[in-house]
Amino acid sequence: MKSELAIIGGGPSALLLAAHIDPTLYNVTIYEHQKTVGRKFLVAGKGGFNLTHEEEINNFIAHYHPNDLLKSAIKSFTPYQLRKWLTQRGINTYIGSSGRVFPNKEIKPFEVLKAILEYIDSLGVTIKCNEKWTGWNDKGCLTFESGLIINPKLTVLTLGGGSWKGTGSDGKWSTLLKSKGVKVHPFKPVNCGFSVDWDGQFLKRYAGQPIKNIKVKLDKIESTGELKITDYGLEGNAIYAISYCLQSKLNQSDTTQFTVDLKPMLTEQSIREKLETSPHSVSQTLSKVIKLSKVKIALLKSFVNKEDYINPENLACKIKGLSICVTSPRSLDEAISTIGGISQDALTKDYQLKAIPNTYCIGEMVDWFAPTGGYLLQGCFSMGVYLAQRLNQLD
């Protein structure tokens, strides 16, 4: 006889879990409180649907914090296996120049979601929308706002983190789990912009402009990409990659700094020699010889004093490691993702809640971090598949 499996939430981890559960062992039902499933999945597709990232697997796993939580899951369902599985669903992918993986350009995000939904439908998975989970009754049954009461053998919670509330990911479930003795950390924004105290004239001229082809560094973390100047500070994939570390440091201090290499392709010595031998003025040399953009030169002038600006050795050092001070992250509503949620200590290695038997938690509601670039989605996909594999072994 099949066991009843209830999945609460209809995001990426839920869908891949449902797609890999053995239909001969379980009757699977997804309960989603929005009108449709996969809303955050589709939001991730705006501006380019970055599904995963292609790189050596151990380097890939190193992007996650804590990576022990995700290691087994990702090794059980790697980026290569995700691409292969999507191809079997009719979704071909390609690797971009940065290693990011996207559906072929003619394939829209909703088509990817449709292919996944058609597959889980073929497995007999039931999806019930407009069903908001409200907790447990005194008999331990799951309750819903509609009045529905169910008592499945196994429950998997996939309720998301605290960002993008419009998609239903609001983190309000934390109160329900805390009442059951589950350790839940407060949500904090990551993969977000950070505030910088800009010079008024610099901001007036350059707000909204990108700073391209740079490398940022904080402690041992390095990231290449670009930054975007905003009226509050900086955003962009380069700062998102170090956002976890920035947030950690801001937990201990009102401000923290990171460095920007404005010319990653040149060495500090090469830049110094160009500055020393150029017949042009400093600014002309930066523009014509070293090939820095106007916004990069303006950025240097904002953060470098006059003495250092006219000293080739000091200026070369600043070009290769310009320190920028940030004061705070943006709000939860503006963040791409969050840290916080269910503590790793509250889960078994198979993502079962220690305080609530036969109840599992996966996806962004668990306290882990990954940068943008396909790592977030892959983490959710892999957790779903890994849990499915474990549940398939129970009977």
Q: Are residues 180 and 270 in the same domain?
A: no
Q: Are residues 26 and 169 in the same domain?
A: yes
Of the candidates 195, 99, 178, the one whose C-alpha atom is nearest the C-alpha of residue 342 is 178
Tens place of pLDDT for every residue, the chain, 395 residues? 899 999 999 999 999 999 999 999 999 999 999 999 998 788 765 667 899 999 999 999 999 998 889 999 999 999 999 999 999 999 999 999 889 999 999 999 999 999 999 999 999 999 999 999 999 999 999 999 999 999 999 999 999 987 766 666 678 899 999 999 999 999 999 999 999 999 999 999 999 999 999 999 999 889 999 999 999 999 999 999 999 999 999 989 999 999 999 999 999 999 999 999 999 999 999 999 999 999 999 999 999 999 999 999 999 999 999 999 999 999 888 888 889 999 999 999 999 999 999 999 999 999 999 998 899 999 999 999 999 999 999 86
Q: Are 128 and 78 in contact (CB under 8 A)?
A: no
Of the candidates 38, 197, 52, the one whose C-alpha atom is nearest the C-alpha of residue 109 is 38
Q: Are residues 93 and 152 in the same domain?
A: yes
Q: CATH number, domain at 101?
A: 3.50.50.60
| Full residue range of the structural domain in which residue 144 is found | 3-188+338-392
Task: List, edge to edge, every strand of the sheet that includes 149-150.
Answer: 133-136, 142-144, 149-150
Q: Is residue 332 part of a domain?
A: no
Q: Are residues 364 and 238 in the same domain?
A: no
Q: Are residues 283 and 150 in the same domain?
A: no
How far is 250 from 265, CA to CA, in rounded Å? 31
Instruction: Assign 342 to helix, strand or coil.
Output: strand
Q: CATH number, domain at 279?
A: 2.40.30.10
Q: Are residues 162 and 306 in the same domain?
A: no
Q: Are residues 20 and 160 in the same domain?
A: yes
* Per-residue pLDDT tens digits for 221-259: 899 999 999 999 999 999 999 999 999 999 899 999 999
Q: Are residues 166 and 72 in the same domain?
A: yes
Q: Is residue 26 part of a domain?
A: yes
pTM of the full predicted structure? 0.90
Looking up tokens 């830049």 gives 271
Q: Are residues 115 and 222 in the same domain?
A: no
Q: Is residue 331 part of a domain?
A: no
The confidence score (pLDDT) of residue 167 equals 65
